[in-house]
Structure 1
């Protein structure tokens, strides 16, 4: 038996015309609130008084700013009873939530800039929901269940089938079978009192992009609707204050929209109000599967959770990891590199979110190829060795933006003419203001975490893992943890604790679809994650007092004066009109 409590609090952001996070589109702005956005929290305490906090927010991602401020507040409130290793923050990845919520510069460009009131509202809701969850703890039984979506349920499709089919361990699927090229299993943690389901956590990977980038309202998208439907169903059964979390598993290459013949034509038929109905239907499928699995009359299908709570978490600099040969097909000296965005990143995804026009992408590809040829030509140049190493790490990626060194095609950011695009105009404005001289464009130092709840180990990954990339991480951790027989299941949650783009397999990366172009640290990013998660799993097997791993590293502080220069204090109209005027 565990002590478990739960709560949800509304994230009180007011739609004022800031761009939403997810599509990276200057024009995708929030002027309305369609559904409430929530912070949902569950607090679980074992018999040794170890507490695990699992929180899920209706947001595009978690940022380090959110996590660090929440940790600070909880340390003040709970004191030594709080262990930040045992705090999991997850995002539903709705693309209709507030932007401007991180301290790093790049993903805030469309907002434009950092919006402190958004961050404050998120942290406030999060901390309050955690406090209330702790206050409501009671004796609760926990059960695990898994359930598969039948093939005919139109819930999800692989959006990068050619990349997926490159993986040696998969059965290749045709363009007509993209709905099978993903993990159709939902994993569930159910909380029961007096043998009645009260609340639960669901893990299933599918992008929360039912709602496209031409809408203008905050909305929880499919995951938000799934939670609302499930909570309403439990209330109708007499359950008071149920909280249902619909979190993400491997969603990196998984879309809620049909992918196959005539995919764009089919997607373009769903417009406006129909998009909201589409999101609700997708959410309904998720809600119905979860409730069916957890409320079935055959309790043997549910596995009782027993045992201790434990966790390990370490911040890792993904931009500089030398990877053991066991994860690189025997290649020695394989390394990750500074974060880089490829031309495929700027091209966007084929249905969910198209990026720059094709003609512009063709131009970018030509320039990236020419730049690489130039850099390979001059062995005596001062930066020759550095670029050789970068290209070895980044492989076939046509690099446009070196986010680590803040260069576009080798030139300091700020050089492309503002007239090309309002996002470029905003970047140039920030560069001129001296707002990103010493600030990272994207995170490089990110948290990797494994938490244990009885016989379940949950791998908590920042960023977006594709189906097979996530499966390989699970396999790596499983091989290590099954040395301790009491851990029987290993699951993976993504969009946890921070955001660092995508993680594809080495094979998928060679395709350089959108996901590969947004796998920032190069073709060995997954190998680096596998290596580090293996290390963490080994630590989890040790008694707490015998563990030796890095618990001190954290991302560098962002210079406050620079953050202030890219902060929006009511100057939204000016920034947007300047961007739209160019």
Structure 2
């Protein structure tokens, strides 16, 4: 019996309405736990994963990457547990999933968390350190596998799961569904228009967001939140050089900041908020759409070109720049998630069922029944191949060569180049048609360029069904997959009006894109990147129908063929960092450019130091930077490199010198007053692995005063800060006349570490490297505190105290 897509779609919509309007039901009891851990890799020199642009290499950090883990368990059956992980990573890879499961087994001494019940999903940020995939195609633009980045991901995911395991408690879960408007668009509308069932849907992207609210069994303690919403994490384009979680990472940051106690530093709170990925294959956050950057006119509709070239056709977000767009799209997801979370009424119950099914499938050898194909005939999948439009890129990040989207013919030159890798067979050409094969990744030997054996996974948590897919499903592909799974559950007699399906995209492995049969014919980027031919989606539908039936009937699923284990078989041409050096007469941590003594809300504070390469140490669960506030006679960190308004910047100076810059965009709402602030940083010196850090601090400064100084009578006196033997200088500095008689021109620029000047005048001197000179900050104050300040007494006096 052929599945009737349009009738099933109506049933699905009616079920969603029933779910949204349902009255509060009896809560099910589950074991629930949440954990969060740092997975930030190398923030300097290493290429990013996502745009496949080799020149997009890290030069710093906008926001730390996190792994957010949730465990849901049956209170009566220990073996019935599922683990959902949302990682701020480009995608989840098999080489990561396999190692995570192995380490969990070794740590716990059991198979409690295994390949079948652990789901790892990537948020798909395109600003994450690369080289973690293991397969050649995804690692080639980072010059191979980067073990340090892979280890950071694996370790962080394991630690987040172990924290969730440690935090397990009796709890309950609420579900709510709503709409997010004006946060995504379809970046391949020409392909979407080919779909025969497009008339059954209002929009060409899914606007639906599903929110899960985790809380203690009595409802008094909030534990965490997961939501699923499809949008590419590409608000930051391929010119961005700062590691970041993009719009989903920012949304998680906002939610966790809201729910954890005031003053909690990022990643340190017990409340965990995951903004998970879904069927985002053709979905972009760049709402202004693609324009020709030379003319401002819309790009050609089918090919996304400007005068026949792709490189000038670029889509932009709603902000004035990519960083502002990132905040806007993240904020819009956060706003809806918060509303749905606050107003969630429906509990997951379903007799508190927690169950799962998992199988591996060789995607190159599937015979697909006519029941699932769009042609109405039995079909087969193909050996993996990428088409010409794959090299064209997308409007979110165009390619560098003369490829265009919607290309369905070959080019003799590129055929010649690609033949050196592998030459497609006639059977493969026919199977992949109308795709013109550029890279025959299914035949290239001896290393694995893309995975062939892929995981298919489905969880049941009460009336919720979570589907883990190893790739990027387009909007319509995701809709059809949901309909197929619903049909299976209906056929098995377990679907209810409250049942709900979510897709967890980019999970457990990565097989690029999955389009519908009709979208594949258009051969835009997504279709060209659908590896296993035009019937790839139908193959997924067939497998997930069978898997869902086995789940509903409580039957076991076949393990399937095992995927190729890439551990120990990767390649890398990534060189280690150059040993750190310094100019003559400079020390690590010396100031290159210091801050000003006073700022206003909305200003950007910036300080630079002679430093070291941050590749020397990832500072996992720590921070490269801090914004400190002087409270009760001590410096208290108020911001770290996990905060979105701070930036940690690195640049190479000459050959082996490094300049470290820390920036803070002071919020316009920042409180003004007499409080003192400072910037500081730390990195590890090359060759030292036992905590030999170099660090530096700016002078102290204030926010919002009309004066360029402040009264700080509560600060410690000068002699408390001066190094041994400097007490006399402190006493000399206690009177204006003493300064006149005791300091001459020879003392200009004298370095006095950890100085507090006590007396009638207090001032700061610009870093002498920059040729600065002293200026009076304020008069009639008792003390002024700063670190590593350069005193130039005479310059102040010669300037009449101004």
TM-score by length of 1: 0.83
CA-to-aligned-CA distance 1:492-526 (integer Å, 9 cap, x gap):
11111110010000000001111001001110110
Question: Mapping of 1:367-446 within 5 angstroms?
Answer: 367=411, 387-406=425-444, 437-446=445-454
After alignment, is 520-529 or 227-236 more displaced? 227-236
Q: 1:395 to 1:125 in 2, by over 3 A?
A: same
Which residue matches 2:755?
A: none
State the Cα distance separating 1:229 from its structure 2 match.
0.5
CA-to-aligned-CA distance 1:317-367 (integer Å, 9 cap, x gap):
1111111111224554521111111111000112x0101343788999542
Q: Distance in 1 between matches of 2:467 and 2:246?
A: 25
Asked which structure has the greater RCO (Cα within 8 Å, sep 6+), the reply is 1
1:290 paired with 2:315, answer: no
1:566 paired with 2:572, answer: yes
Q: 1:64 to 1:447 in 2, by over 3 A?
A: same
CA contact (8 A) 1:142 1:305 kept: no
Q: Distance in 2 between matches of 1:512 and 1:486?
A: 36
Q: Which one of the candidate residues 226, 234, 240 is aligned to 1:201?
A: 226
State the Cα distance separating 1:294 from its structure 2 match.
1.4
State the Cα distance separating 1:391 from its structure 2 match.
2.7
Q: 1:270 to 1:557 in 2, by over 3 A?
A: closer
For the pair shown, which has the larger CA radius of gyration, 1 or 2?
2
Which residue matches 2:355?
A: 310
Which residue matches 2:494?
A: 485
- The SS at the match of 1:56 is strand
State the Cα distance separating 1:27 from its structure 2 match.
1.0
Question: Mapping of 1:22-41 within 5 angstroms?
Answer: 22-41=50-69
RMSD in angstroms over aligned alpha carbons?
3.0
Q: 1:402 to 1:294 in 2, by over 3 A?
A: same
Which residue matches 1:356?
A: 400
- The SS at the match of 1:110 is helix
Q: Distance in 1 between matches of 2:81 and 2:290?
A: 49
Q: Which one of the candidate residues 436, 451, 456 is aligned to 1:448?
A: 456
Q: Which is helix-richer, 1 or 2? A: 1
1:188 paired with 2:211, answer: yes
Q: Which one of the candidate residues 265, 268, 281 is aligned to 1:252?
A: 281
1:502 paired with 2:540, answer: no
TM-score by length of 2: 0.61
Which residue matches 2:32?
A: 4
Which residue matches 2:323?
A: 276
Q: 1:508 to 1:460 in 2, by over 3 A?
A: same
Q: 1:268 to 1:532 in 2, by over 3 A?
A: closer
State the Cα distance separating 1:469 from its structure 2 match.
0.3
- The SS at the match of 1:313 is strand
Q: 1:313 to 1:391 in 2, by over 3 A?
A: same
- The SS at the match of 1:90 is strand
1:16 paired with 2:41, answer: no
Q: Distance in 2 between matches of 1:191 and 1:362?
A: 44
CA contact (8 A) 2:35 2:163 kept: yes
Q: Distance in 2 between matches of 1:368 and 1:327?
A: 36
Q: Which one of the candidate residues 341, 346, 352 is aligned to 2:386?
A: 341
Q: 1:200 to 1:272 in 2, by over 3 A?
A: closer
Q: Distance in 2 between matches of 1:259 and 1:342?
A: 28
State the Cα distance separating 1:263 from its structure 2 match.
7.1
Question: Mapping of 1:507-522 within 5 angstroms?
Answer: 507-522=518-533
1:227 paired with 2:252, answer: yes
Q: 1:572 to 1:115 in 2, by over 3 A?
A: farther
**Number of residue pairs aligned between Structure 1 and Structure 2:** 517
Structure 1: gaps (5+ residues): 376-382, 407-436, 574-582
Q: Distance in 1 between matches of 2:411 and 2:315?
A: 32
Structure 2: gaps (5+ residues): 1-28, 298-313, 580-802
Which residue matches 2:369?
A: 324
CA contact (8 A) 2:229 2:277 kept: yes
- The SS at the match of 2:371 is helix
- The SS at the match of 1:314 is strand
